[in-house]
Homo-oligomer: A and B are copies of this chain.
Amino acid sequence: MKLTFEQKKEILDQQSQKNTTKRVTSVELEKILYDAIPVLDHGFVRVIDYMGDDTSIVQSARVSYGKGTKKVSTDEGLIKYLMRHWHSTPFEMCEIKYHVKLPIFIARQWIRHRTANVNEYSARYSILDKEFYIPAKDQLSAQSTSNRQGRGDLITGEQADEVLKILKDDATRTYDNYEKMLNERFDGSTIDQDKSGLARELARMNLTLNSYTQWYWKTDLLNLLNFLFLRADSHAQYEIRVYAEAMLDTVKKWVPITHAAFLDYRVGAVHVSAKGKKVIQQMAKGESVSHEKSGLSKREWNELMVSFDFKEKIV
Protein backbone atom coordinates (compact mmCIF):
# COMPACT_ATOMS: atom_id res chain seq x y z
CA MET A 1 0.00 0.00 0.00
CA LYS A 2 1.41 3.30 -1.09
CA LEU A 3 -0.27 6.43 0.18
CA THR A 4 -0.11 9.58 -1.88
CA PHE A 5 1.65 12.62 -0.51
CA GLU A 6 -1.75 14.24 0.00
CA GLN A 7 -3.08 11.28 1.95
CA LYS A 8 -0.03 11.14 4.20
CA LYS A 9 -0.39 14.81 4.94
CA GLU A 10 -4.09 14.44 5.74
CA ILE A 11 -3.33 11.61 8.18
CA LEU A 12 -0.59 13.59 9.90
CA ASP A 13 -2.88 16.61 10.19
CA GLN A 14 -5.64 14.52 11.68
CA GLN A 15 -3.31 12.81 14.12
CA SER A 16 -1.88 16.07 15.33
CA GLN A 17 -5.31 17.16 16.59
CA LYS A 18 -5.41 17.37 20.35
CA ASN A 19 -8.84 18.25 21.65
CA THR A 20 -10.24 18.22 25.15
CA THR A 21 -13.51 16.40 25.66
CA LYS A 22 -15.84 15.30 28.43
CA ARG A 23 -16.75 12.23 26.37
CA VAL A 24 -15.47 8.78 27.27
CA THR A 25 -12.30 7.99 25.39
CA SER A 26 -10.67 4.73 24.41
CA VAL A 27 -6.99 5.27 25.09
CA GLU A 28 -5.72 2.33 23.03
CA LEU A 29 -7.89 3.18 20.04
CA GLU A 30 -6.77 6.82 20.15
CA LYS A 31 -3.21 5.58 19.57
CA ILE A 32 -4.05 4.21 16.12
CA LEU A 33 -6.77 6.71 15.22
CA TYR A 34 -6.52 7.74 11.54
CA ASP A 35 -3.68 5.23 10.90
CA ALA A 36 -3.92 3.47 7.53
CA ILE A 37 -3.65 -0.27 8.26
CA PRO A 38 -2.53 -1.97 5.02
CA VAL A 39 -4.80 -4.69 3.59
CA LEU A 40 -4.24 -6.55 0.28
CA ASP A 41 -1.92 -4.93 -2.25
CA HIS A 42 -3.35 -1.41 -2.35
CA GLY A 43 -6.11 -1.36 0.23
CA PHE A 44 -6.34 -0.09 3.78
CA VAL A 45 -8.61 0.33 6.80
CA ARG A 46 -8.51 3.42 9.00
CA VAL A 47 -10.54 4.21 12.12
CA ILE A 48 -11.74 7.77 11.54
CA ASP A 49 -14.03 8.34 14.51
CA TYR A 50 -15.75 6.46 17.31
CA MET A 51 -18.26 6.95 20.12
CA GLY A 52 -18.28 5.12 23.44
CA ASP A 53 -16.29 2.24 24.88
CA ASP A 54 -16.90 -0.80 27.12
CA THR A 55 -18.24 1.41 29.91
CA SER A 56 -20.93 2.83 27.56
CA ILE A 57 -22.35 -0.67 27.14
CA VAL A 58 -22.45 -1.16 30.88
CA GLN A 59 -23.98 2.26 31.43
CA SER A 60 -26.87 1.69 29.04
CA ALA A 61 -27.51 -1.80 30.40
CA ARG A 62 -27.74 -0.32 33.88
CA VAL A 63 -30.29 2.21 32.63
CA SER A 64 -32.38 -0.66 31.29
CA TYR A 65 -32.18 -2.99 34.20
CA GLY A 66 -31.98 -0.35 36.88
CA LYS A 67 -31.00 -1.51 40.32
CA GLY A 68 -31.36 -5.04 38.99
CA THR A 69 -27.88 -4.93 37.52
CA LYS A 70 -26.15 -3.75 40.64
CA LYS A 71 -25.80 -7.34 41.76
CA VAL A 72 -23.47 -8.22 38.94
CA SER A 73 -20.35 -6.95 40.54
CA THR A 74 -18.11 -6.09 37.61
CA ASP A 75 -18.34 -4.51 34.18
CA GLU A 76 -16.75 -7.62 32.73
CA GLY A 77 -19.30 -9.89 34.34
CA LEU A 78 -22.14 -7.78 32.99
CA ILE A 79 -20.77 -7.58 29.43
CA LYS A 80 -20.23 -11.34 29.37
CA TYR A 81 -23.77 -11.88 30.61
CA LEU A 82 -25.20 -9.58 27.93
CA MET A 83 -23.24 -11.31 25.17
CA ARG A 84 -24.10 -14.81 26.37
CA HIS A 85 -27.81 -14.07 26.54
CA TRP A 86 -27.98 -12.31 23.17
CA HIS A 87 -28.86 -8.90 24.58
CA SER A 88 -28.44 -6.64 21.62
CA THR A 89 -29.36 -3.05 22.42
CA PRO A 90 -26.52 -2.19 24.83
CA PHE A 91 -23.99 -3.04 22.11
CA GLU A 92 -25.76 -0.66 19.74
CA MET A 93 -24.76 2.24 22.00
CA CYS A 94 -21.18 2.30 20.61
CA GLU A 95 -20.48 3.57 17.12
CA ILE A 96 -17.39 3.50 14.88
CA LYS A 97 -16.47 4.97 11.51
CA TYR A 98 -13.91 3.48 9.13
CA HIS A 99 -12.30 4.76 5.96
CA VAL A 100 -11.73 1.73 3.74
CA LYS A 101 -10.02 1.28 0.40
CA LEU A 102 -11.03 -2.00 -1.25
CA PRO A 103 -11.58 -3.75 -4.62
CA ILE A 104 -15.04 -3.28 -6.12
CA PHE A 105 -15.93 -6.99 -6.13
CA ILE A 106 -15.31 -7.01 -2.37
CA ALA A 107 -17.25 -3.78 -1.90
CA ARG A 108 -20.18 -5.59 -3.51
CA GLN A 109 -20.08 -8.33 -0.85
CA TRP A 110 -19.56 -5.85 1.97
CA ILE A 111 -22.49 -3.58 1.08
CA ARG A 112 -24.94 -6.44 1.59
CA HIS A 113 -24.66 -5.65 5.30
CA ARG A 114 -27.36 -3.02 5.23
CA THR A 115 -27.36 -1.66 8.75
CA ALA A 116 -24.47 0.72 8.21
CA ASN A 117 -23.98 4.22 6.81
CA VAL A 118 -21.86 4.59 3.71
CA ASN A 119 -20.33 7.35 1.63
CA GLU A 120 -18.53 5.86 -1.35
CA TYR A 121 -16.24 7.59 -3.80
CA SER A 122 -18.43 8.34 -6.82
CA ALA A 123 -17.17 7.49 -10.27
CA ARG A 124 -20.02 9.61 -11.64
CA TYR A 125 -18.21 12.68 -10.30
CA SER A 126 -14.56 11.78 -10.25
CA ILE A 127 -12.01 9.55 -11.94
CA LEU A 128 -11.08 6.35 -10.15
CA ASP A 129 -7.47 5.74 -9.16
CA LYS A 130 -5.38 3.52 -11.41
CA GLU A 131 -5.08 0.70 -8.93
CA PHE A 132 -6.24 -2.90 -9.24
CA TYR A 133 -6.12 -5.84 -6.90
CA ILE A 134 -3.83 -8.59 -8.17
CA PRO A 135 -3.78 -11.64 -5.87
CA ALA A 136 -0.53 -12.80 -4.33
CA LYS A 137 0.72 -16.14 -5.67
CA ASP A 138 -0.23 -17.96 -2.49
CA GLN A 139 -3.85 -16.96 -3.01
CA LEU A 140 -4.25 -18.28 -6.55
CA SER A 141 -6.48 -21.18 -5.61
CA ALA A 142 -8.46 -23.44 -7.88
CA GLN A 143 -12.19 -23.84 -7.51
CA SER A 144 -12.92 -26.30 -4.72
CA THR A 145 -14.29 -29.60 -5.97
CA SER A 146 -16.18 -30.29 -2.75
CA ASN A 147 -17.58 -26.86 -1.93
CA ARG A 148 -19.48 -24.76 -4.45
CA GLN A 149 -18.17 -21.49 -3.05
CA GLY A 150 -14.75 -22.42 -1.73
CA ARG A 151 -11.17 -22.57 -2.86
CA GLY A 152 -9.21 -25.76 -3.46
CA ASP A 153 -5.56 -26.46 -4.19
CA LEU A 154 -3.15 -23.78 -5.24
CA ILE A 155 -2.62 -23.11 -8.92
CA THR A 156 1.09 -22.98 -9.63
CA GLY A 157 3.71 -22.78 -12.33
CA GLU A 158 2.87 -21.61 -15.81
CA GLN A 159 -0.85 -21.58 -15.22
CA ALA A 160 -0.38 -19.25 -12.27
CA ASP A 161 1.83 -16.96 -14.32
CA GLU A 162 -0.78 -16.91 -17.07
CA VAL A 163 -3.56 -15.99 -14.64
CA LEU A 164 -1.54 -13.14 -13.17
CA LYS A 165 -0.64 -11.87 -16.63
CA ILE A 166 -4.29 -11.88 -17.69
CA LEU A 167 -5.41 -10.01 -14.59
CA LYS A 168 -2.71 -7.36 -14.95
CA ASP A 169 -3.05 -6.92 -18.69
CA ASP A 170 -6.82 -6.76 -18.74
CA ALA A 171 -7.02 -4.30 -15.85
CA THR A 172 -4.36 -2.10 -17.40
CA ARG A 173 -5.86 -2.16 -20.86
CA THR A 174 -9.42 -1.43 -19.69
CA TYR A 175 -8.10 1.39 -17.50
CA ASP A 176 -6.12 2.89 -20.39
CA ASN A 177 -9.23 2.73 -22.54
CA TYR A 178 -11.21 4.31 -19.67
CA GLU A 179 -8.83 7.27 -19.82
CA LYS A 180 -9.04 7.35 -23.60
CA MET A 181 -12.84 7.46 -23.55
CA LEU A 182 -12.78 10.13 -20.82
CA ASN A 183 -10.19 11.99 -22.86
CA GLU A 184 -8.61 12.66 -19.50
CA ARG A 185 -5.92 11.04 -17.39
CA PHE A 186 -6.32 10.10 -13.73
CA ASP A 187 -4.19 13.11 -12.80
CA GLY A 188 -6.79 15.36 -14.40
CA SER A 189 -4.83 16.26 -17.54
CA THR A 190 -6.70 16.35 -20.83
CA ILE A 191 -5.50 13.99 -23.58
CA ASP A 192 -6.81 15.64 -26.74
CA GLN A 193 -7.72 19.33 -26.44
CA ASP A 194 -9.98 19.14 -29.50
CA LYS A 195 -12.26 16.47 -28.15
CA SER A 196 -14.77 16.22 -25.37
CA GLY A 197 -14.68 13.10 -23.22
CA LEU A 198 -17.36 10.52 -22.62
CA ALA A 199 -19.45 11.13 -19.48
CA ARG A 200 -17.76 9.66 -16.41
CA GLU A 201 -20.92 7.83 -15.39
CA LEU A 202 -20.63 5.91 -18.67
CA ALA A 203 -16.88 5.46 -19.07
CA ARG A 204 -16.57 3.73 -15.70
CA MET A 205 -18.45 0.71 -17.00
CA ASN A 206 -15.28 -0.36 -18.81
CA LEU A 207 -13.35 -0.92 -15.58
CA THR A 208 -12.78 -4.38 -14.18
CA LEU A 209 -14.18 -5.51 -10.84
CA ASN A 210 -10.76 -5.58 -9.18
CA SER A 211 -10.46 -1.79 -9.46
CA TYR A 212 -10.12 -0.14 -6.08
CA THR A 213 -12.80 2.11 -4.65
CA GLN A 214 -13.03 3.67 -1.20
CA TRP A 215 -15.68 4.63 1.29
CA TYR A 216 -16.52 5.85 4.75
CA TRP A 217 -18.38 3.10 6.57
CA LYS A 218 -20.05 3.76 9.90
CA THR A 219 -21.88 1.24 12.05
CA ASP A 220 -22.70 0.40 15.64
CA LEU A 221 -20.81 -2.22 17.60
CA LEU A 222 -23.58 -4.82 17.43
CA ASN A 223 -23.78 -4.73 13.66
CA LEU A 224 -20.00 -4.57 13.40
CA LEU A 225 -19.72 -7.79 15.42
CA ASN A 226 -22.33 -9.44 13.18
CA PHE A 227 -20.29 -8.37 10.17
CA LEU A 228 -17.05 -9.67 11.70
CA PHE A 229 -18.67 -12.93 12.76
CA LEU A 230 -19.53 -13.68 9.13
CA ARG A 231 -16.56 -12.07 7.42
CA ALA A 232 -13.67 -12.92 9.76
CA ASP A 233 -14.84 -16.54 9.51
CA SER A 234 -12.85 -19.19 7.67
CA HIS A 235 -15.71 -19.65 5.17
CA ALA A 236 -15.57 -16.02 4.09
CA GLN A 237 -13.71 -15.16 0.91
CA TYR A 238 -10.05 -14.45 1.72
CA GLU A 239 -10.16 -10.96 0.22
CA ILE A 240 -12.87 -9.74 2.61
CA ARG A 241 -11.57 -11.79 5.53
CA VAL A 242 -8.33 -9.83 5.68
CA TYR A 243 -10.29 -6.61 6.08
CA ALA A 244 -12.41 -8.19 8.80
CA GLU A 245 -9.32 -9.41 10.63
CA ALA A 246 -7.74 -5.96 10.56
CA MET A 247 -10.98 -4.51 11.92
CA LEU A 248 -11.21 -7.16 14.63
CA ASP A 249 -7.86 -5.88 15.90
CA THR A 250 -9.28 -2.37 16.15
CA VAL A 251 -12.24 -3.74 18.13
CA LYS A 252 -9.79 -5.29 20.58
CA LYS A 253 -8.20 -1.90 21.18
CA TRP A 254 -11.54 -0.12 21.37
CA VAL A 255 -13.65 -2.41 23.60
CA PRO A 256 -11.33 -5.12 24.98
CA ILE A 257 -13.90 -6.72 27.31
CA THR A 258 -16.51 -6.99 24.57
CA HIS A 259 -13.86 -8.35 22.22
CA ALA A 260 -12.99 -11.16 24.63
CA ALA A 261 -16.66 -12.02 25.17
CA PHE A 262 -17.19 -12.04 21.40
CA LEU A 263 -14.38 -14.57 20.92
CA ASP A 264 -15.72 -16.84 23.65
CA TYR A 265 -19.47 -16.70 22.92
CA ARG A 266 -19.52 -16.16 19.18
CA VAL A 267 -16.33 -16.82 17.23
CA GLY A 268 -15.23 -19.91 19.17
CA ALA A 269 -18.74 -21.12 19.95
CA VAL A 270 -20.57 -24.11 18.51
CA HIS A 271 -24.23 -24.16 17.57
CA VAL A 272 -25.80 -27.61 18.03
CA SER A 273 -29.17 -28.50 16.50
CA ALA A 274 -31.89 -30.32 18.43
CA LYS A 275 -30.95 -33.59 16.73
CA GLY A 276 -27.23 -32.95 17.20
CA LYS A 277 -27.83 -32.37 20.89
CA LYS A 278 -29.08 -35.93 21.29
CA VAL A 279 -25.89 -37.28 19.75
CA ILE A 280 -23.76 -35.20 22.13
CA GLN A 281 -25.83 -36.36 25.09
CA GLN A 282 -25.26 -39.98 24.15
CA MET A 283 -21.54 -39.47 23.68
CA ALA A 284 -21.24 -37.77 27.06
CA LYS A 285 -22.98 -40.74 28.68
CA GLY A 286 -20.50 -43.09 27.04
CA GLU A 287 -23.17 -44.58 24.77
CA SER A 288 -22.21 -45.53 21.27
CA VAL A 289 -23.57 -43.28 18.56
CA SER A 290 -24.08 -43.83 14.90
CA HIS A 291 -24.92 -41.65 11.99
CA GLU A 292 -27.71 -43.98 10.95
CA LYS A 293 -29.67 -43.63 14.17
CA SER A 294 -29.02 -39.92 14.60
CA GLY A 295 -31.51 -38.61 12.08
CA LEU A 296 -28.80 -36.28 10.83
CA SER A 297 -27.85 -36.11 7.18
CA LYS A 298 -24.32 -37.24 6.37
CA ARG A 299 -23.32 -33.64 5.88
CA GLU A 300 -24.80 -32.52 9.18
CA TRP A 301 -23.17 -35.42 11.00
CA ASN A 302 -19.77 -34.44 9.68
CA GLU A 303 -20.31 -30.76 10.46
CA LEU A 304 -21.13 -31.73 14.06
CA MET A 305 -18.09 -33.97 14.43
CA VAL A 306 -15.78 -31.35 12.95
CA SER A 307 -17.14 -28.62 15.19
CA PHE A 308 -16.14 -30.60 18.30
CA ASP A 309 -12.97 -32.09 16.76
CA PHE A 310 -14.45 -35.55 17.21
CA LYS A 311 -13.09 -38.36 15.04
CA GLU A 312 -16.37 -40.01 14.14
CA LYS A 313 -16.42 -38.41 10.69
CA ILE A 314 -17.85 -40.55 7.92
CA VAL A 315 -17.22 -40.55 4.21
Chain A positions near chain B (C-beta within 8 angstroms): 14-15, 17-25, 30, 33-34, 49-52, 56, 59-61, 63-69, 71, 77, 80, 84, 86, 89-90, 92-93, 95, 97, 99, 103-105, 107-108, 111-112, 114-115, 117-122, 124-127, 133, 135, 139-144, 148-153, 155, 159, 163, 166-167, 170-171, 173-174, 177, 180-182, 188, 195-202, 204-210, 214-216, 218, 220, 230, 237, 263-265, 267-277, 280-281, 283-284, 286, 297, 300, 303, 308-310
Contact = CB atoms under 8 A, between A and B. Distances in A.
A52 B49 contact: yes
Given A205-B208, A269-B274, 6 more contacts: A14-B22, A19-B20, A52-B97, A66-B127, A269-B271, A281-B310
Contacts of A52: 49, 97
A277 B269 contact: yes
A282 B211 CA distance: 49
Given A23-B49, A50-B23, A199 B273 contact: no
Contacts of A20: 18-21, 25, 30
B237 A124 contact: yes
Given A269-B271, A308-B281, A181 B199 contact: no
Contacts of A188: 67
Contact of A111 (B111, B151, B286): B111
Contact of A308 (B92, B97, B284): B284
A215 to B, nearest CB: 7
